[in-house]
Amino acid sequence: MNKSMNAQAEPTKKSRAISNTFMRLLKLGKPYFGWYLILCILAAIVSLAAVGIAESLRRIINAATNKDLSSLISGAIIAIVIITVEASANFLKTYLSGVLEFKSTSKLQVSVLSRLLNVQMKDLDRYHSGDLISRINDSATAAQQGINQKTIDLFSNLMQITFLLTYLLSLQYALTLGMLLICSLVPLVMLPFSSRLRSMHEQRQHIETTQQMFIQDTVQGAEVVRTFSLAPKLQQQFTGRVMKYLKIHLPVSRLEAVAYNMPLAVILGGLLYVLSYGGYLVIHGRLDVGAVAAFLVCFEQIANPVSKLANLWTELQGSLAQGKRLFEVLDLQKEGVRRDSNGKDLHLGTSTNTNQAVSGLYPISFNNVGFGYGNDQVLTNVNLTIQPGKVTALAGPSGSGKSTLLQLILSSYEPNEGTIHSGNLLLNSIPHRSWRSNLAYVSQESYLFSGTLYENIAWGRPDATTEDIIAAAQSAGIHEFIMTTPHQYETFIGERGLTLSGGERQRLSIARAFVRKPKLLLLDEPTAALDSHNEEIIGQALQELMHDRTTVVVAHRLSTIRNADHIYYMEAGSIVEEGTHLELMDLKGKYYTMVETTLNNDDKTTAVMEEVQ
């Protein structure tokens, strides 16, 4: 948003941005140059055929006026041959342009998704998933098709014009030149409107996308929508957005109504010119009637390409607006590529070093780490060390930055200040893929994919065998449940596993972590919503999983915190106390207060309750 605003404020910047978008749009077309060439040649054949048809019609008419039967027959035969050629060339052209369109857009869409899968989480957080989907589905398609179509138009129209011009110029040059002038001047009237058109296209697409996000949110929140009877209110908002859309759509339609009728204006104007001026020439004996007829037939053939050429820039505005949206996401920074070049040791990590770093044998250390989302500072000056093979617990009030810290270890985010090391390697210098291949992350809210139960566990390690999967399910205490479902491991679970209960979802996501056999385990305390029986099983299983593994757990329950080897107590983004449970209790600081208030408070409730009873 900011970018576009700045761009609008400063005209020079703006034009540079346009030409930049334009150049990049051109680049999208570069790999398909061969295709364009073939399609242009086909277009040339089609337009040559048009000349041929015009010529044969001229012969037929002249034959009729001169009463010459043999030339009539030859004209008809030529026409039939040409029509056959034209039909097959036209078919090839339609088909091949379809092939090109689908090939290029599907390739672009896949590459946009692949880029999105690799950009920094921090950047990605700013976009609604509905917005991103619209950029992949709508913008990528529109941009790619725009450049394909317009490039082919440009070349084939130029070719058509060349052919027809040579033909027509040989008939009568004054008539031809006048026609050309009319064809190109009229559409040029639209040029001043083009930039306005583009910005309106942008706004309209923006509203359309907002509406898509809104629809997606509403559909996904079906439960809340129903129980709170939100439907009337949401409908109202929907209508409000439509009004906003129409407010821009109306002027766009007005401009488009004019733009799209420009070629027609050209044709009518040109026809009049040919008929009146051509007639004038005939009357003065400088042209034969057959030539005027040929002009008339050729006229649409030449008027179309010329007016299209002149209108090309105007028509490209929609694609440019979509291209801008596309390039915005394509330009997002990739993970693991740091902009600042001051850290020379960034890319020292050789593969052996990397292997050592991810082996889980080295401590992970935070040095003066600071992090924030936008203006919102979440972590400040964090120093901590996670010892290998030990359980480190993070405790503290809600919003103190515990989960964010976990995300930093995951290297989902990069710290704004300070450094994170694994052993003596900078975390940033280790390829994200290899770093993450050694860790398993269990989030607070389990996220599942639609698919079978088996697939959902197998996401943890793609090469896992069936035995591994079942073992993991057993360890996570979900195996028995799976066996009671209709198709057992092949049972299909709906979108995000919403057909399962919360506990089942959580156990599945734990099984997913089990099957991964990680060296480093990151837990955002998940056991809380499980029932006691399963919790016991999982408690043991997690103990087993934690054995000999480095574990970082965002702990909410006193029992988890107490069992940890080392505790960091966080408040407002900083670590205020650290040590073992006993040490921290002795300290009688904030941790102590937290533990005491928790217990006291509960005692009080109990006492009150007992009194009542």
Within positions 348 to 407, which residues make up the interface with another protein, using CB under 8 A? 373, 375-376, 395-399, 402-403, 407
By C-beta, is 21 or 299 nearer to another protein? 299
Query: CA–CA distance from 396 to each of 175, 411, 441, 603 (Å)?
Result: 86, 22, 20, 21
Instruction: Tell me which of 437, 465, 466, 543 binds another protein, using CB under 8 A.
Output: 437
Near another protein by CB under 8 A, which window of 64-72, 340-348, 356-364, 417-425? 64-72
HEC assignment per residue over 424-491: CEEHHHCCHHHHHCCEEEECCCCCCCCEEHHHHHHCCCCCCCHHHHHHHHHHCCCHHHHHHCCCHHHC
Is residue 109 classed as helix, strand or coil in its secondary structure?
Answer: helix
Least spacing, CB of residue 490 vs another protein, in Å = 13
Near another protein by CB under 8 A, which window of 6-14, 159-167, 238-246, 303-311? 238-246
Near another protein by CB under 8 A, which window of 10-18, 142-150, 246-254, 339-347? 246-254
CB contact at 8 A, 295 and 278: yes
**345 contributes a contact to another protein by CB under 8 A:** no
**471 contributes a contact to another protein by CB under 8 A:** no
**585 contributes a contact to another protein by CB under 8 A:** no
CB atoms within 10 A of CB 447: 10
Within positions 173 to 212, which residues make up the interface with another protein, using CB under 8 A? 212
**109 contributes a contact to another protein by CB under 8 A:** yes
**213 contributes a contact to another protein by CB under 8 A:** yes
Least spacing, CB of residue 582 vs another protein, in Å = 13
d(CA 338, CA 350): 18
Instruction: Tell me which of 444, 474, 574, 580 binds another protein, using CB under 8 A.
Output: 444
d(CA 229, CA 343): 56
**10 contributes a contact to another protein by CB under 8 A:** no
Please list the alpha-helical segments (H only) found in 331-415: 351-357, 402-409
d(CA 26, CA 144): 9
d(CA 128, CA 216): 10
Build a one-symbol-per-residue string for 19-58: x at contacts with another protein by CB under 8 A, - elsewhere. Answer: --------------------------------------x-
By C-beta, is 124 or 312 nearer to another protein? 124
d(CA 240, CA 440): 45
d(CA 543, CA 13): 59
Near another protein by CB under 8 A, which window of 98-106, 193-201, 355-363, 385-393? 98-106
List phi, psi (to 5°) of 197: -60, -40
Beta bridge partners of 550: 520
For residue 349, give the amino acid letter: G
Query: CA–CA distance from 349 to each of 97, 298, 337, 520 (Å)?
Result: 47, 68, 14, 20
Within positions 115 to 174, which residues make up the interface with another protein, using CB under 8 A? 116-118, 121, 124-126, 128-130, 132-133, 136-137
Within positions 473 to 532, which residues make up the interface with another protein, using CB under 8 A? 481, 486, 494-496, 498-499, 501-504, 506, 512, 516, 522, 525, 528-532
Q: Binding-site residue total for another protein (CB under 8 A)?
A: 172
Near another protein by CB under 8 A, which window of 193-201, 237-245, 381-389, 465-473? 237-245
**11 contributes a contact to another protein by CB under 8 A:** no
For residue 410, give the amino acid letter: L
d(CA 438, CA 194): 53
Least spacing, CB of residue 137 vs another protein, in Å = 7
Least spacing, CB of residue 430 vs another protein, in Å = 13
By C-beta, is 17 or 326 nearer to another protein? 326
